[in-house]
Amino acid sequence: MLFFSNLQAAELLIEWARPLKKNLVGMNRREQGGIVSFGDDILVVTRDGKMHHFSSNGKKKKTAVFNGEFYFTPVVTEENEIFVPVSNSLVVLDKDFNEKWSISGRAPIASEPLIDGENVFVQFHDNSIYLLNRENGEIRTTYTYYTTDEISFIRLSKPFIMDDKIVFSFSNGMIFHFALRKNPNTGTEELVPWFRIRTSRQQRSLQKKNFYDLLSVVPFKNSTVLFSSGEFGGIISEGKPVQLKNMRNVNIVIENDGSVSGYGEGGIFLYGKDGVYLLDEDGDSVRIPFRSENYVTNNILAGDHRVVTTTGAGSMISYNEGHIHLMKDDYSQVLHSIMVPNGISAKGHFHRGAVYLLSDMGVLYKFKILK
């Protein structure tokens, strides 16, 4: 059941809802994975290892079942090739769900796969990185970060390319910039550490993965990096980390206009744009356009609006409420709010003018924004 409030000039209108679980009552675990575009349709992955193909009108076309759990959404290419990270395996499917190739590591996959030209980079929770041939999955090279730190299962950010370097972060707070080059003796490609930065002095090692644990890293400007770990976050400039407030347990993202925002524990935070940080002399974020007692799990730009979702409380949940908020794109006003039992933890998606969300109760929703 959904509860509506704060009806204004615009509101969220449910076009359809589809339950993905047989039992929608009782204790439910937080959903993982989420939703991604697939041509005119969408793919929805759930923590029980299922990938559902839905049309825009809510018809389920196909379901693929994998041996494992989903932590991340698949990566879909322009050709509708599907790179599916599930537990410790990467499975690559064609547009008809036929398997092209797969590969497995010794630990669960730790971040979204990075596809760059003919290369695929896959990171695992044992601190290993595989560089794969995109066409057939052949291992071109591997790199393992050896450390005396115990390996934890906190969430890692998606790797990215910055200044021709491939940037990965590890669960003990280390950020590595790798160069990809050929070994002059063997002719094989290698991932070579260019430089590394430690962002954290401690970690919660060997802990059961907590919903709030994450390590989020994004490029900002002029080789500057913003990061957030489970403990704190800050700015890395000229190779030196500077701790800032209001960056604890937040997921940092780059907006379409180049500004940097974060969402997570406590609400939504705006950190700056074009090298200008929106911070006061004490390091507090000047702009906190949305505050929440619950954890903010999605901040989706939907045309000239934003859709913000929150979870309920606790790691195991029953009927603790979360919310869906429709806001103006500049965060200046909350236009419409919907209360959702348990809330929403999975990754939502804006596609073809509609917002798709997967609740922790296991219900897939399609919303239209009614103006």
**Closest by alpha carbon to 279, among 290, 268, 287?**
287
Tell me: do 250 and 311 sit in the same domain. no
Within a domain: 90: no
Torsion, CA 222, CA 272, CA 211, CA 347, rounded to 10 = -90
Q: Give the phi and the psi of residue 305 in degrees, each rounded to 5.
A: -135, 170
- pLDDT surpasses 60 at 363: yes
Within a domain: 161: yes
Q: In whole numbers, what is the pLDDT of the chain averaged over residues?
A: 84
Tell me: do 245 and 306 sit in the same domain. no
How many domains are there within the chain? 3
Q: Which of 135, 170, 198 is the last residue of a domain?
A: 198
Within a domain: 254: yes
Least confident of 19-23, 73-77, 350-354: 19-23
- Determine what percent of the chain is predicted with pLDDT higher than 90: 49
Q: Which domain holds residue 112?
A: 105-198
pTM above 0.95, yes or no: no
Tell me: do 193 and 251 sit in the same domain. no
End-to-end CA distance of the chain: 23
Tell me: do 283 and 306 sit in the same domain. no
Within a domain: 308: yes
Q: Which of 198, 221, 250 is the last residue of a domain?
A: 198
Within a domain: 280: yes
- pLDDT surpasses 90 at 183: no
Tell me: do 270 and 345 sit in the same domain. no
Per residue in 252-278, pLDDT tens?
Answer: 888 888 788 889 888 998 887 765 565
How many CB atoms lie under 10 A from the CB of residue 163?
A: 10
